Amino acid sequence: MTALTCKLLVIGAGPGGYVAAIRAGQLGVDTIIVEAEAPGGTCLNVGCIPSKALIHVAAEFEKATHFAGDSAIGVSAGAPAIDLAKTVAWKDKIVSRLTGGVGALLKKAKVRHLEGRARFVDGKTVIVDGADSETKISAENIVIATGSAPVELPFLPFGGNVLSSTEALELTEIPGRLAIVGAGYIGLEMGMAFAKLGSDVTVIEAAERILPSYDADLTKPVARRMKALGIDVRLKTKAKGLVSGGAALEIESAEGVETIGADKVLVTVGRRPVTDGWGREELVLDMEGPFIRIDDQCRASMKGVFAIGDVTGEPMLAHRAMAQGEMVAEITAGKNRRWDKRAIPAVCFTDPEIVTVGLSPEEARAAGHDIRTEIFPFAANGRAMTMEAEEGFVRAVARADDHLILGLAAVGAGVSELSAAFGLAIEMGATLEDVAGTIHAHPTQGEAFQEAALRTLGHSLHI
């Protein structure tokens, strides 16, 4: 058995882990990172990046289909075709480029990268089971960045025709009938993409509406788009299990039990933290439900042990993990850092997209704030009109007394790119006057941000 020592050991090379390792290496911290799979974690390999690639392809295919018929803008084309196997190969090349890039960045930062599965012996010692050998690592500080995994339903275990998002992104043929269990952001992103590619999609959701973690005003344009795509949405309905030899799904609602045809069933009911399989039982860690409890420096309850990313709770977002990883690296290098973020952007890559930063009107009122809030619709935005993207709006939520912005949100085509401006405004403590007084380029969709601030102040210019 090989024996190694380091100042910082990172377990898991997902977005949080690899950022922690790279930043630590940049700061001269002797660092080792351990990962059993390709670097990049779920997000890069089987999540964020490949799903956005599929969403892009679906949008391009739908556009081509649109131009095969009568087009208001005067563009016409022949009937389109899709080769999903070729799409997957293109997606895999993107993933390969990015994972290779992460590996190169780790090497550049002089981080030692071990392939294998880590398991704790104690709070300072880890054994890495590699393909051909074991390595014992003694570390002054250890970062747990083990991420999360899809939740499996006991009556719909993964395998065969029952898919997690990972398997759905590897399909080389478009399912004729696709049933999706769960109307959260993963289910709807995938469902809308496959509907555009030609699948007959049914969404089963136990709650009263789609995207239950977002407020209803933001989800209404998405619901309208799903209807236009022909997606059958079954709300207040539960999946029961496969029937007819796995070719159909039994569901139950207030109207009773029925069976729907399904060539594939995609289960997207959430993700769970990966807290097993790496020796947690050898440690004494305080837990918060299924998650590792951390303080405002991402320290766990044992000295020298940090935890970052999905394993520490909501929001399970790659950019949260990255920010935590950077902070922990700087702490181990002796810098004085604490987690003091006003807001973390969340984006739903449905059609149209949704972006939220900070508080919704309901959340702000529940927190005791007297607020002012208004929207500016993209139907009054010139750039949106020229892009055939008039659905949606930008919304501002601010305190009534000093106009401090508490929350920003938008729903519309491409609004994910507004997340940077929204996040910066809240992080810097901007007021409505700050945004309204900032000159926004014309014609852009970003003008709707300025107009939302102006309208909330009571003097919108273009509506």
Query: What is the crossing angle of helices 84-108 and 48-67, to 10°?
Result: 140
The residues that bridge with 143 in the sheet, in sequence order, are 10, 306
Q: Any idea which residue has 């390709």 for tokens?
A: 38
User: How would you classify residue 186: left for phi > 0, otherwise alpha for psi between -120 and 50, otherwise beta?
Assistant: alpha
Total residues belonging to the chain = 463
Amino acid at position 429, single letter? G
Verify whether residue 442 is a known catalytic residue: yes
**Out of 66, 369, 442, 462, which one is annotated catalytic?**
442
Which two three-digit tokens encode residue 330? Answer: 């700087």
Beta bridge partners of 291: 288
**Alpha carbons 92 and 89: distance in angstroms, whole number:** 5
Active site residues: 442
